[in-house]
Amino acid sequence: MDVLEAIALNPKYHDVLTILKGFRNGIVYGTRIRFPHALVMAFLFKSGTTMDKFRYVFRATKQHAQNLGTFATIYKVAMFVQKKLNGNKQADIHTFVAGLLGGYFVFGENNAINQQWTKRKRDWPKIVLYIFARVAIALVKVPVKRQVIDAPQHTYPVFAAVSWGLVMYLFHRDEDTLQPSLRASMQYIYRDSDSWDSLRTLIWHNK
């Protein structure tokens, strides 16, 4: 344990260990926010046996946690590589490129988990966001309809990549413009994973 503690606190390994903690924070955060939501949705709205409902909760939670953990890993690796290639200096554009890669490979799949939008019609600001999201998804399908390309899987990954590239760039440069809960989740996953003061706060606890 003393050896592991020494490695955890050695500045030489800091950049590499941020990748490990980024993955850990993504998994924890994804589980924490998805599990209670999936549990409520399963037992209020899903049909089937109790076991079927628990299987749904497990699958939904696993997918969400896996997505956030994998994205954080890709993002951190891309940031690390770009920094090394740039003379050990981080540039603003690095966040966009890293977010672009993570968005493409993790959120580029057109599935239900990646397309969660609110349906609370009484909340008018969310209606605008809901419509904006639907318009954006429709625009992804337009090139397919016009036969510019032959399949939606060619446009959706680009849409996801650009969206994640932009949000990571904004978080780095102008984080106060982002919605507070989104900002808080990104702080936990991507910024808190840059610091720790022991093996315990690297692996078991965020702080």
110: left (phi over 0), alpha (psi -120 to 50) or beta: beta
* pLDDT tens over the chain, length 207 residues: 889 899 999 999 999 999 999 999 999 999 999 999 999 999 998 899 999 999 999 999 999 999 999 999 999 999 999 999 999 999 999 999 999 999 989 887 766 555 554 443 444 445 556 667 888 888 878 877 877 766 656 678 888 899 999 999 999 999 999 989 999 999 999 999 999 999 999 988 888
Q: Tell me what pLDDT residue 127 has.
A: 53
Sequence ranges of the domains in the chain:
2-203
Q: Tell me what pLDDT residue 107 has.
A: 81
Q: Tell me what pLDDT residue 160 has.
A: 87
Residue 78 tokens read as 């891309």
Q: Tell me what pLDDT residue 124 has.
A: 43
Q: Tell me what pLDDT residue 119 has.
A: 42
C-alpha distances in Å from residue 93, one per residue of 1, 50, 96, 125, 133? 38, 48, 5, 31, 25
- Say which residues have a Cβ less than 8 Å from residue 98's Cβ, sequence separation at least 6: 74, 75, 76, 78, 79, 82, 165, 168
Q: Tell me what pLDDT residue 141 has.
A: 80
Residue 118 in contact with residue 130, Cβ under 8 Å? yes
Q: Tell me what pLDDT residue 128 has.
A: 57
Q: Tell me what pLDDT residue 54 has.
A: 95
Place of tokens 């397309």: 115
Q: Tell me what pLDDT residue 155 has.
A: 78
CA–CA gap between residue 37 and residue 2 (Å, rounded): 40
* pTM across the whole model: 0.72
